[in-house]
A and B are shown apart, each in its own frame.
Chain A
Amino acid sequence: MIRYLLPLGVFIALVLLLGAGLGLNPRLVPSPLVGKALPAFTLEQLRDPGQTLSQASLDGKVSLLNAWATWCVECRREHPVLVEIAAQGKVPIYGLNYKDQRPEALQWLARLGDPYVASGFDADGRVGIDLGVYGLPETFLVDAKGQIVHKHIGPISTEIWQRDFIPIIERLASGNR
């Protein structure tokens, strides 16, 4: 009996293991930066090249840092959600305009609305590399002490915002009180 059951058992175990593997999304690479401080950076701002945006700009409040570009199709899909989040006014959104052209980026914001308090202009993508950005859009949730508490890869939808971001933001808010 065991002669027949053993191979069957091994087969079922293998199916379960591989089945679980199929359910994972290989595009989602866990970031080693979650739980660490936001890496230091200084960039000129998109709107005003005379001004800079740095990691210090995000200090003292829970905020979002969203990497985006006009050439990124999924960013276009995400944009209305960001505009809505910005309108709610709970969390300020900072932008990382990644490897983009300034006129196009400014036109995009003028046409679709600007949810960003400020966007850093990362023309050569070097700050993007420091942040481990590999597929736009990517969004970091940063706490008041400048620690990255959550990273989302891919466009944020209203559902994802409610499910993944709001609970953390509320927990952080109650922890500060």
Chain B
Amino acid sequence: MLMATLLALTASAGAIVFEQRDFDNAEQRARYKTLIAELRCLVCQNQNIADSEADLAQDLRREVQRMVLEGKSNEEVIDFMVSRYGDFVLYRPPLKAKTILLWGAPSVLAIGGIVFLLLQLRARRRDTTPSTPLSDDEQARLDALLKNEDL
């Protein structure tokens, strides 16, 4: 019973909003699908407008459909949204001074991490190599100890 409820819940959470949208050709439909998948819903902010059932998302899907049918390019549709809601509607924000940290941080962190790792490894290797070679006396004692262990 509990299992069934859980299944029903997860199924509904992952459900894609079904809507009848008519297009002139498959290319338009494909563009519509890409566009609504890349635009963020402002009401439920962690969903794109394809998945959101918010009223506004529904209206925005209608607007996207209208523009696609009018033959607007993907850039024009994106510009339409950005001019009204800002870069926030884009799931792929543009590279700007304001977003440089967002785009740059992963590579900076990755390169920094690798450099840090290499430095650590080098430091460790240095630590294990003896700074002064053993004297003859010490070498003889070491050999004796090692031999002893064989017994």
Interface residues of A (CB under 8 A from B): 26-27, 29-33, 99, 124-126, 129-132, 134-135
Contacts and interface: CB of A to CB of B under 8 A. Distances in A.
B91 interface: no
B86 A135 contact: no
B55 A132 contact: no
Nearest to A30: B86
7 tightest A-B CB contacts, nearest first: A134-B42, A132-B84, A32-B86, A29-B88, A132-B85, A125-B59, A134-B56
B86 A31 contact: yes
For chain B, the bracket of interface size reads 10 to 19
Given A99-B55, A125-B59, A131 B84 contact: yes
Contacts of A130: 84
A31 B89 CA distance: 11
Nearest to B83: A32
Chief secondary structure at chain A's binding surface: loop
Interface string B77-95: 0000011111010000000
Most A CB within 10 A of own CB, among B43, B55, B60, B88: B88
A123 B66 CA distance: 18
Given A31-B86, A126-B63, 14 more contacts: A29-B85, A29-B86, A32-B82, A32-B84, A99-B55, A125-B59, A129-B63, A129-B84, A132-B84, A132-B86, A134-B56, A134-B85, A135-B42, A135-B43
